[in-house]
Every structure is written in C-alpha cells, then in structure tokens.
Amino acid sequence: MSWTDERVELLKKMWGEGQSASQIAKELGGVTRNAVIGKVHRLGLSNRNTGGASEPAAKAKPAEKSAKPKPAAKAKPAEKPEPKTEAAAPAEATPIRRQIIPAGQPLPPQPSANEISAEALAKVNEVEKKAKKLSLMELTERTCKWPVGDPATEEFWFCGLPVQQGKPYCEAHVGVAFQPMSSRRDRRR
C-alpha cells in the first residue's frame, strides 16, 4: 500500500472530523491503525486532545452536574480536598517542562552523559599513530580490535596494539569504549 495524494487527503479529512485511527484504517483499507497514526505524526496533524470537539463535551458535563440535587454536591467537597493536597505536593516537588517539537523538525542537541572527553580523544589520536594497522585476518586475542576507517574502503584497519587485560581493546580504546555510568543512572540503583 502506498500513500497516494487521494488517500492522504482522505486521511486528513477524516482526522479533522475527529474519526479514530482505527476507523480511518478501515475506511482506507490495506493499512493498519498504527500506519495511520504514523502518517498523522509525519504529516504533523494536530493531536486533537486540545481540540474544540472535546471542550464542548467537557463544558456540558459540569452543567449537568449543577442540575443535580444538593446532597450529591455536598458529598463531593468532602472528597476533593484529599486528592488536591496529594496531587499538589508532587507537582510542586518535581515540575515537568516538556518542549513539543513539530513532526519533521530535527531534535535539538542534547547533552550526553557519555560524551568522550578531549583527553581521551587526544590519547586515541596518539595511539592510532602508533597502531599496527592490522587486517581482520591478522587479529588475535592479544591485539586491539578497534576498527578505524570505513570498512568499504581499502584504508580500513584495526588498531592491533596489545589489549588491556580482559578487554578486546588497548588501553586508549578501552577509555573510549567503556564509559563510566553517569551519576543520574547511579542514583536509580
């Protein structure tokens, strides 16, 4: 199945009308609900959670509740203070701010806990100048198996220096390959 212009237009129309992904998939035929959701995401269509269709329904329900007898209304205020105090405490303790990025936009660069330090990179560059530049067939259990270059070219080689005890790489490449856990991950344990 391919997404033709006609099928995409039908998808947009039905999505705008508030139809579910399952309903749209049945109407289009030959696609799954997940395929519809994926296409909606790639097209950047609205989430509909904040759309106008759900607001009138939400407004209508409180109006119906106000028409109910007063004894039911008296029972609710006694129940509401407890959830409010419980819900307020976590919200104050851990405020969550999430940035919404439209579909198709690149993600902003994120700081990585496993970034390689400048010292480690300098050490690797020095080691690679001294490397034995072995081919795959020349590797042994005692030679560093760190690949260098593009495997599709003839300039591809392996480090070949003596390995660190119990590791597949030399000391410099172990420093790059095996990063310490970040403090955030340590706290979870």
Q: What is the pLDDT of residues 70-79, one digit of tens each?
A: 554 444 444 4
Mean residue pLDDT of the chain comes to: 74
In tens, the pLDDT along 140-159 reads 999 999 998 888 888 899 99
How close are the terminal C-alpha atoms of the chain, in Å? 46
Q: What is the DSSP secondary structure assignment for residue 44, as one 8-state letter?
A: T
Instruction: Break the chain into its structural domains and give their ranges.
Output: 1-78, 118-177
Per-residue pLDDT of the chain (189 residues; tens, 9 = 90+): 678 999 999 999 999 898 999 999 999 888 999 999 999 888 888 776 544 444 444 444 444 444 445 554 444 444 444 544 444 444 455 666 666 777 777 766 655 555 666 777 778 888 888 888 999 999 999 999 999 888 888 889 999 999 999 999 998 888 888 776 665 555 555
Residue 25, CA distances (Å) to 40, 46, 47 in order: 12, 18, 17
Find, among 131, 136, 161, 140, the residue nearest to 151 by Cα.
Answer: 136
The whole-model pTM stands at 0.37
The structure tokens listed for 82 are: 């407890």
Distance CA 93, CA 104 (A): 34
